[in-house]
């Protein structure tokens, strides 16, 4: 009995959600088991940070390449290739268990899985013509809920769940995903639509591309957005790579540790919906200024590290986790006009990804230099203050211009 297109779409969305959920394991392992991995491989934190930073940089480079290959060969083939790179990465890490094996496996081969970064988006846009936004919201919840649910599971079973076991689980998930991808993923749908604006942008003359790119640096609003997205990426790199180590270094108890990380995962989802609501119903620059103020308070709580700091940080940072990127892209689009959105988005995300790489890398270097994470947290406070001030200036400048316009009229 053949399934309807709606049933196929929902089935694929469920499968993609499960893949995103279990992918949270890799997000958890290198952050939580830093000390164990350092001892096992006889390396310092700077080496682990460099490996993770290289992974993120390679993922960023592979993403647009993977997008072009997805258009040409279809999402299913790219998902299978993505799984093969993931399997090879885990095999190299587990078989060699030395610094070079860890760097080649996690830094290089795992970074190549960035070729599959766009496949979920392509599938959702092709199969969900009427409810794309809802489908993307469901898909985005997978990683956050994975972090919230899997964190206490790993912590409570620490007597047998170590970093090698976690990577072995990841290996077998990759192996099992290949036949399921063959079976469940369908490349084409009658609801597939073309994106003429993106196709037209791809055909722009080279001089036009250079002119559009240079506009970012001449427009004060987009300069603020680029600084803010770099700050957001730096904070993401700090949290993704070093938050668990920060809590461990402060000797946070297991109950508070697990609760704070689970809360962070849940608040990522809730905070994303909250700021999506605010961005549609109030000045976007004011909403984004408020977002970065929340991050300043969150990092101040973290640097002081009193008893409830982990919980307070998770609430404040989690609430602001997912709003900075879409908000910044919308503000930049308003400043430059709704043209060449593909170029806008790609350029702005490059600044965000660059911040993430530097944030992850600098955390390990600063820890080895200062034997702590206070300087890293302090840099986050400074950058978040600058971003909040930048968006506030844009808001008040626009307000003054609008006020003068009303008076002149």
Helices (H), 97-219: 99-102, 119-127, 132-156, 163-184, 196-202, 206-218
| Tokens of residue 264, six digits | 């962070």
Q: How many helices (H) and strands (E) does the chain have?
A: 18, 0
Q: Determine the pLDDT at residue 1.
A: 36
List per-residue pLDDT tens for the chain, 409 residues long: 356 788 888 899 899 989 988 888 876 787 788 889 999 999 988 898 889 888 888 887 787 677 778 777 888 998 999 999 999 999 999 999 999 999 999 999 998 988 877 677 678 767 876 665 566 657 766 776 777 777 778 777 767 788 999 999 999 999 999 999 999 888 765 444 444 444 444 444 545 556 666 777 788 898 999 999 999 989 988 988 888 888 888 888 877 877 787 777 777 767 766 766 666 677 888 889 999 999 999 999 999 988 888 899 988 888 887 678 777 877 887 887 655 555 566 677 778 888 988 998 898 889 889 988 999 999 999 999 999 999 999 999 888 876 765 545 5
Q: CA of 90: how far to CAs of 23, 105, 118, 235, 361, in Å?
A: 13, 6, 22, 27, 22
What is d(CA 180, CA 239) in angstroms, rounded to the nearest whole number?
32
Q: Determine the pLDDT at residue 196.
A: 43
pTM of the model: 0.71
Handedness of CA 181, 183, 187, 190 (dihedral sign): negative
pLDDT digits (tens, 9 = 90+) for 279-314: 667 788 888 999 999 999 999 999 998 888 889 998
Planar angle of CA 348, 352, 353, nearest 5 degrees = 115
What is d(CA 318, CA 131) in angstroms, rounded to the nearest whole number?
26
Give, as one character, the DSSP assignment of residue 194: -
- Give me Rg for the CA atoms of the chain: 22
């Amino acid at each position: 009995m053949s399934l309807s297109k709606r049933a196929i779409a929902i089935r694929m969305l469920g499968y993609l959600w499960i893949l995103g959920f279990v992918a949270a394991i890799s997000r958890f392992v290198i952050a939580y088991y830093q000390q164990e991995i350092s001892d096992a491989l006889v390396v310092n934190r700077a080496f682990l940070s460099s490996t993770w930073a290289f992974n993120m940089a390679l993922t960023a480079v592979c993403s647009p390449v993977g997008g072009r290959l997805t258009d040409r060969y279809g999402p299913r083939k790219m998902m299978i290739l993505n799984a093969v790179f993931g399997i090879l990465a885990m095999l190299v890490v587990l078989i060699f268990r030395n610094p070079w094996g860890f760097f080649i496996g996690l830094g290089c081969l795992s970074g190549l899985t960035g070729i599959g970064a766009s496949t979920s988006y392509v599938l959702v846009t092709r199969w969900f013509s009427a409810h794309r936004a809802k489908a993307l919201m469901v898909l985005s919840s997978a990683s956050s809920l994975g972090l919230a649910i899997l964190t206490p599971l790993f912590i409570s079973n620490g007597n047998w769940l170590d970093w090698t076991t976690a990577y072995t689980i990841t290996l077998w998930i990759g192996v099992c995903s290949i036949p399921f991808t063959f079976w469940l993923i369908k490349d084409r749908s009658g609801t597939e639509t073309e994106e003429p604006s993106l196709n037209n942008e791809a055909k722009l003359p080279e001089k036009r591309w250079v002119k559009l790119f240079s506009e970012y640096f001449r427009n004060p609003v987009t300069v603020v957005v680029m600084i803010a997205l770099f700050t957001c990426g730096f904070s993401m790199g700090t949290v993704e790579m070093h938050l668990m180590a920060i809590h461990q270094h402060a000797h946070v108890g297991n109950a508070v540790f697990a609760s704070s990380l689970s809360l962070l995962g849940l608040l990522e989802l809730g905070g994303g919906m909250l700021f999506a609501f605010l961005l549609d119903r109030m000045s976007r620059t004011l909403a984004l200024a408020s977002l970065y103020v929340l991050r300043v308070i969150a990092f101040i709580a973290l640097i002081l590290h009193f008893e409830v700091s982990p919980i307070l940080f998770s609430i404040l940072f989690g609430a602001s986790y997912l709003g900075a990127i879409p908000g910044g892209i919308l503000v930049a689009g308003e400043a430059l006009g709704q043209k060449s959105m593909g170029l806008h988005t790609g350029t702005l995300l490059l600044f965000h990804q660059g911040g993430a790489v530097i944030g992850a890398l600098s955390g390990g270097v600063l820890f080895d230099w200062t034997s702590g994470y206070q300087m890293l947290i302090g840099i986050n406070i400074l950058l978040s203050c600058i971003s909040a001030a930048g968006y506030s200036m844009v808001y008040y400048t626009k307000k003054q211009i609008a006020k003068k316009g009303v008076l002149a009229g």
